Amino acid sequence: MDMPAYYEFCCRVKIISGHDVLERIPATLAELTARRPMIVTDKGVVGAGLINVVVNAIGGRVDITAIADDVPPDSDLRIVNSLARLYREKGCDSLLAIGGGSVMDTAKGINIIVSEEADDLMRFSGANALKRALRPLIAIPTTAGTGSEVTLVAVIKDHEKHLKMAFVSNFLLPNACVVDSRMTLTLPPAATAATGMDALSHAVEAYTCLAKNPLSDAHALAATRLISDNLLKVTLNPGDKEGRLGMASAATLAGIAFGNSMVGMVHTLGHSVGSVCGVPHGACMAILLPYGLEYNMHKNGHLTAELLFPMAGAPVYAATPKEERAQAVIALIRRMNQELYEATGGRHARFFKEALDRDGREMVPKERLPDIAETALRDGSISYNPEDLDYDDFLMVMEAAWEGRPLDTGLIRKG
Amino acid sequence: MKNFREVAAGKKSLKKDYVAVMMWFMGRAIQAAAAVDMAARKEFAGMPDGFTFALSVMPNGPHMIIGKDQRGFVRYKGWDPEGKKIDLDMKIKNIEAALLLFTFQESTTLATARNRLVVDGDVAHACAVVRILDIVEVYLLPKIIAKLAVKRYPGWSFRRKYLGRMLIYVRSIFGL
């Protein structure tokens, strides 16, 4: 086992997980001495009827002081400021974040402003700018992917200044997360597939990149197994409650893993594709994951090989020669993408050329690949990637991922 | 309480002095690289004029401060942060971690991965600083040591590597 000379691990989020656990929210709020929560969510969650599920589960036991449902798909500074004003006006004392990554990030941003009694969120951007505990925050994920319910990061965009601000602090960890299988039952197959592959990319990069440690490894391996067992099942059969709970748990496990060992080039490029072309994060992760493993193979192939066990099971692992296991893992991920493509009627993109927006337009024009490579150079996650990448390397990987062909290993410059 | 005797923390003067000297020379070498090396110049071009960054050892230094003036020239601005507006502070958590870094037992990226660095400021600029440090290390160090300090030893041309190395050493020594 690779043993780092030094590592840190922190996850102090109380995790409440199961089929009917939303009912635990009042008791959890009481433990935090909170009585007047504000719900932060988005219109998609409201439209799917999930707020009603939560409100019915809570019953009359908690005074829900405000419900804010205008969180956009990308967290936005303006919305954070306006919802912080609403929180103050209504006299709320805690937050319930119900949604995916954007909702969680927005709630974390609101919490910074209201707890620090600040007007300028920017003052707290960067790492470790927060120095004390914030107001109680309970996260209730409605996707099984981001892992934001257990991470110490929030990314909030200032759309006016075209800035993406990252906030990193242990004080951003929610006090509790409530992972209930009912909350993901209505997630459409394409979103299920993409967010599930996002969770897989968290687990795989946490296990194979530079900041891995034995504690994050344990979480990453468990997540990988649960995703391999359940992702295709729930994409084909969205009403599978056991499978949904498995995926929700996997996303939380993977979130803990990558929150403590970070991620590498798959996320570096994925953030850039998202920022330049607006491709959903999960779709980027699904496409880029095999390329990240191929690129780093000469550095961490032995770690990739170990993932064959949780992904394919003991018989396949034992029957595969040691030197072929890493390639088998990459082949399995490509096969998963293919199966998800078929299960979603072609809506799960396998490469960037076939990533389309709602109007059927190509999302990643080939001429934007240089911009993506340039943007990737400014992403902090690159520090954690085993092999170095410069502009030419990023472009080479993007060209392959755009066309959907495997990397030409002869072009990889090995350090 | 009257019997309480305050125990002063070990000063580790020798280690601090070693790191301070390394930072002093590295700072001057960064200034030199910004003038000599195309890639380093490009990295600095991405930073705004007037931008200042520091590499510091917690809690009390030493520090290395580099600034880009209003005309775009890169200058080593000494080891004293007092009175200087630092836009990006990359803090090494303690002197032992700094020693690992400056004895090249651990690369900058590995130090980051092992949580030995705290970045206070813009992450995009921090990425550029790490790339600049890598470039300077390749110039200053023999390949066998530089390979430990950087993730991937670059395949530079003979001219870039040896002429650049000579120019950077000369400029660093004379503070040009």
What is the full per-residue pLDDT of chain A (415 aa) written as tens digits?
778 888 889 999 999 999 999 999 999 999 999 999 999 999 999 999 999 999 999 988 889 999 999 999 888 899 999 999 999 999 999 999 999 999 999 999 999 999 999 888 888 887 777 889 999 999 999 999 999 999 998 988 887 776 678 888 899 999 999 999 999 999 999 999 999 999 999 999 999 999 999 999 999 999 999 999 999 999 999 999 999 999 999 999 999 999 999 999 999 999 999 989 989 999 999 999 999 999 999 999 999 999 999 999 999 999 999 999 999 999 999 999 999 999 999 999 999 999 999 888 999 999 999 999 999 998 888 999 999 999 999 999 999 999 999 999 899 998 7
The tokens describing B59, both together, are: 């809690």
The tokens describing B141, both together, are: 């160090």
What is the nearest CA distance from B33 to chain A, expressed in angstroms? 19
pLDDT the model gives residue B61 = 78
CB A202 within 8 A of CB A294: no
CB A53 within 8 A of CB A284: no
Q: Does some domain include residue B66?
A: yes
CB contact under 8 A, B123 and A413: no
Is residue B7 predicted with pLDDT exceeding 70?
A: no
CB contact under 8 A, B114 and A382: no
d(CA B159, CA B156): 8
Q: Of A155, A156, A141, A151, nearest to A173 (Cα)?
A: A151
On chain B, the residues whose CB falls within 8 A of the CB of A414 are 152
CB A348 within 8 A of CB A286: yes
d(CA B48, CA B125): 10
Neighbours of B6 (CB within 10 A): 4
pLDDT the model gives residue B74 = 94
Largest CA distance in chain A: 64
Phi, psi for A93 (deg, rounded to 5):
-130, 5
d(CA B68, CA B72): 6
CB B19 within 8 A of CB B102: yes
CB A252 within 8 A of CB A192: no
Q: Indicate which of A375, A383, A412 best probes the interface with B, i.e. most B CBs within 10 Å of its own CB.
A: A383
Q: Which of A7, A209, A387 is facing B114, going by the closest CB pair?
A: A7
| pTM of the model as a whole | 0.92
Q: Does some domain include residue B2?
A: no
What is the nearest CA distance from A380 to chain B, expressed in angstroms? 6
Q: Of A211, A113, A210, nearest to A165 (Cα)?
A: A113
CB contact under 8 A, B151 and A127: no
pLDDT in tens, B136-161: 999 999 999 999 889 999 999 999 99
* Structural domains in chain B (count): 1
Residue B163 contacts A where some CB pair is shorter than 8 Å: no
- Predicted ipTM of the assembly: 0.87
Given CA atoms A308, A312, A317, A322 in this order, what sign does their dihedral have? negative
Asked if the domains A14-183 and A189-411 are classified in one and the same CATH topology, the answer is no
Residue B122 contacts A where some CB pair is shorter than 8 Å: yes
What is the nearest CA distance from B18 to chain A, expressed in angstroms? 23
**Residues in chain B, how many?**
176
Is residue B4 predicted with pLDDT exceeding 90?
A: no
The tokens describing A29, both together, are: 């709020």
The domain limits of chain A are: 14-183, 189-411
CB B153 within 8 A of CB B168: no
Under DSSP, is residue A126 helix (H, G, I), strand (E, B) or coil? strand
Q: Does some domain include residue B128?
A: yes
CB B159 within 8 A of CB B19: no
pLDDT in tens, B85-142: 999 999 999 999 999 999 988 888 888 888 888 888 888 899 999 999 999 999 999 9
CB contact under 8 A, B120 and A413: no
pLDDT the model gives residue A59 = 83
d(CA A225, CA A244): 14
d(CA B30, CA B35): 9
The CATH number assigned to the domain holding B93 equals 3.30.1050
Q: Does some domain include residue B68?
A: yes
Is residue B8 predicted with pLDDT exceeding 70?
A: no
Q: Does some domain include residue B3?
A: no
Q: Does some domain include residue B139?
A: yes
Question: Which residues partner with B75 through β-bridges?
Answer: B67
Q: Indicate which of A170, A263, A295, A388 best probes the interface with B, i.e. most B CBs within 10 Å of its own CB.
A: A388
On chain B, the residues whose CB falls within 8 A of the CB of A128 are 118, 120
CATH fold for domain A14-183: Rossmann fold (3.40.50)
d(CA A295, CA A1): 22
Neighbours of B163 (CB within 10 A): 12
* Pairing between β-strand A66-68 and β-strand A126-127 as defined by DSSP bridges: unpaired
CB B146 within 8 A of CB B138: yes
Which residues contact residue A340 at a Cβ distance below 8 angstroms, ignoring those fewer than 6 apart? Answer: A193, A196, A197, A231, A232, A235, A286, A348
CATH fold for domain A189-411: Dehydroquinate synthase-like, alpha domain (1.20.1090)
d(CA A225, CA A227): 5
Q: Does some domain include residue B113?
A: yes
pLDDT the model gives residue A158 = 80
pLDDT the model gives residue B10 = 65
Q: Does some domain include residue B1?
A: no
Residue B87: domain span: 14-174
Under DSSP, is residue B66 helix (H, G, I), strand (E, B) or coil? strand
What is the nearest CA distance from A125 to chain B, expressed in angstroms? 8
Q: Of A260, A261, A279, A259, nearest to A269 (Cα)?
A: A279
What is the nearest CA distance from B2 to chain A, expressed in angstroms? 33
* Pairing between β-strand B117-120 and β-strand B88-92 as defined by DSSP bridges: antiparallel
Residue B155 contacts A where some CB pair is shorter than 8 Å: yes
